[in-house]
Structure 1
Amino acid sequence: MSNVVETVKQVVKPILDKHTFYLFDVEFVKENKSWYLRVYIDKKGGITIDDCVLVSDELSEKLDEMDPDPIPQQYFLEVSSPGAERPLRNDEELQQAVGEYIHISLYQNLNGQKAFEGFLRSVTSDELVLQNDKWGKNDTINIPRNLIAKSRLAIQF
């Protein structure tokens, strides 16, 4: 079904460009007996419900106009935000997250911990630098990239 995903990416790109949104991800999956086409979009400052409705309406119209139909089976179209705690999957997303509050999970302990939260201050090919005032006078930590299992945006409490 990657053909469906690639087709949808091509169809949705001009719609997103027009509204200064960007594509986070597309998935076409079967859950129980139903197919779901999920399009995750974002923009600086975050996506609203109205933004999702706008893209859903325009994308649905474009897909309905296509002949032959790129998705012959019945499916549900869902357009949404990737979420407040979305994963940071690559260098580009990490660079965009500089200044944001993030959560990092590690493969092994670093300073007695396997997880850290703080403000991402910098990203290099070798490490990420996090800052958190709760850590006391050592309020920054350099985390080697090879120790990082996962990283995501986080909500600060």
Structure 2
Amino acid sequence: MAIQLDEIRAVAQRVAGSHHLEVVDVEFSGGAKFRTLRIYIEKDAEGRAKLAELAKAAEAGEGDEEAPQLPKGVPVEMLSGVTHEDCEQFARDFGTLLDVEDIIPGAEYTLEVSSPGIERKLTKPADYTRFQGSLVKLQTFTPVNQSRQFQGRLTRFEGNNLTLDLAAVKQKGKARKSAAAQDQTVEIALSNVEKASLIAEI
């Protein structure tokens, strides 16, 4: 039986919105008896703004002792702000809705809900806008400057093209030879990005 990820994502977003959360990514893997549905969530824009305010207050020494402790050295924009309680509440409500609406037919499956982590995937154009200035690694569908693997700092995202500063990360393999022979920046069309994720800077 085919699993409709778009339908699952729509239901997940509906539930997430009621909890002031956003869905970052949806994955469904496995087969037969060992199927796993993974949902990655984060606080919504308002929740992330509050997190940024907490971080700024903590830096200024004005933090509330009861405020959640933020990891040192991690840019606040990379934090999801999601707690264990957020994941539990979302999983309970989302799981119930999936069962009631019978969205995942067939045998049992395992539902896993978590934050996307600091090395999160970049899955939509808004991610590239939001994480400009961050280190990223990506793979393209077709080679650019004779390479499909890149690591660098995302310096710009404009007109569905992204620019990476390759000098920000030590390159490997073909990418290193390409970077040595070419300019230290590369422009890649978003439509040519097969997969991309952040690189943690701690």
Would you call these one fold, judging by a TM-score over 0.5? yes
Q: Which residue of 2 aligns with 1:145?
A: 188
Q: Whose strand fraction is larger, Structure 1's or Structure 2's?
A: 1
The C-alpha deviation readout for 1:103-155, integer Å capped at 9, x for no partner, is: 35574559xxx64333x3321234415497789xxxxx532115866532111
**What is the alpha-carbon distance in structure 1 between the residues aligned to residue 104 and residue 12 of structure 2?**
14
Is this contact kept in 1: 2:128–2:157, CA < 8 A?
A: yes
Pick closer, same or farther for the CA change 1:51–1:130 going to 2, 3 Å.
farther
Three-state SS of the structure 1 residue aligned to 2:103 is: coil
**What is the alpha-carbon distance in structure 2 between the residues aligned to residue 76 and residue 134 of structure 1?**
37
Segments of 4+ moved more than 6 angstroms: 131-135
Three-state SS of the structure 1 residue aligned to 2:24 is: strand
Is this contact kept in 1: 2:33–2:108, CA < 8 A?
A: no
1:42 aligns with 2:42: yes
Letter in 1 for 2:13: K
**What is the alpha-carbon distance in structure 2 between the residues aligned to residue 150 and residue 26 of structure 1?**
14
Pick closer, same or farther for the CA change 1:31–1:129 going to 2, 3 Å.
same
**What is the alpha-carbon distance in structure 2 between the residues aligned to residue 124 and residue 59 of structure 1?**
35
Shift of 1:76: 0.9
Pick closer, same or farther for the CA change 1:105–1:56 going to 2, 3 Å.
same
Q: Within 5 A, what are the aligned runs for 1:1-157?
A: 1-3=2-4, 5-31=5-31, 33-43=33-43, 44=48, 45-46=79-80, 47-64=82-99, 66=100, 69-72=102-105, 73-104=107-138, 107=143, 115-118=150-153, 120-125=154-159, 126-130=161-165, 142-146=185-189, 150-157=195-202
The C-alpha deviation readout for 1:76-107, integer Å capped at 9, x for no partner, is: 11112233212223422211212333335574
Task: Please list every run of 5 or more consecutive structure 1 residues that lacks an aligned counterpart in the other structure.
Answer: 136-140
The C-alpha deviation readout for 1:22-48, integer Å capped at 9, x for no partner, is: 112223332573121221222333133
Q: Whose helix fraction is larger, Structure 1's or Structure 2's?
A: 2
State the aligned residue count: 147
Identity across aligned pairs (percent)? 25
Three-state SS of the structure 2 residue aligned to 1:76 is: strand
Aligned-CA RMSD value: 3.3
Three-state SS of the structure 1 residue aligned to 2:85 is: helix
Is this contact kept in 1: 2:25–2:123, CA < 8 A?
A: no
Is this contact kept in 2: 1:127–1:142, CA < 8 A?
A: no
Three-state SS of the structure 2 residue aligned to 1:83 is: coil
**What is the alpha-carbon distance in structure 2 between the residues aligned to residue 35 and residue 19 of structure 1?**
26
